[in-house]
Structure 1
Amino acid sequence: MPATTPFLRIDTVIVRVRDLAQALPWYQGLLAVEPVHFEGGEGLAVLPLGDTSLTLWQSELEDMGHATTGRAGTYLILAVADADAAHAFVAAHGGTPEPVGAGAGMRFFGFTDPDGNYLEACQVL
């Protein structure tokens, strides 16, 4: 019997871009969608794609492609109903989750898989 997991679905795929003002129109044309959320100051735009969204997140050049940040490149955000329960689950399964953070109507935390790939868990409040 499969183990119970707190992860509901892939919520968002993060794609790091160097210039959001240049990348956003390209993705809008490619996907034929308008952002459902945009934060120019934060350098991010959320594009809807069914049950999963594509989030474009502007990064400094030195952050792109470097494993030292743990967040370079593309990564998944997994939806959870309870961030604290998911945090405990990851820790109980050999993970080392970051502390749970909060902001913009969400509770979230990051963690890595055994190969060092970065993932996030996110609870929408």
Structure 2
Amino acid sequence: MKNQKLIILTDSISALIAGLFTLALSSKISDWYQWPDELTLFMGFINIMYGCYSGFISIRLLSGNFILKENVIILILANCLWAGHCFTQIWYLQNISSIYGLSQLGFEGIYVIGLAYLEAKFLLPYLK
């Protein structure tokens, strides 16, 4: 049970922190990564929205409330879709983005795929 709580809490907090920093520093990030401003803002808003959703699930898990398996499946699918978005943006931005921007997208894609795997392996069986 401890691992499940840690995984979902890490998922929520990391998304919220990433979103807040991305929005707070959006103009600097856009310049440094050589991204369109719209992409940077989009990524920040999506991270915050995802962090709120996974935060809702983690609060319910931490307080001992029932969690629908479907909610966690949506969480896992969202992580997989976001990883796909990150990898697609690497291909799309390869000619205009800096190496730092491409690296950030790659590492974020790997990170969220890892979270999806951990949630599928440890959280889903717990919710039988």
TM-score class normalised by the smaller sequence: under 0.3
TM-score (norm 2): 0.26
Structure with bigger strand share is 1
TM-score (norm 1): 0.27
Structure with the bigger RCO (C-alpha within 8 Å, sep 6+) is 2
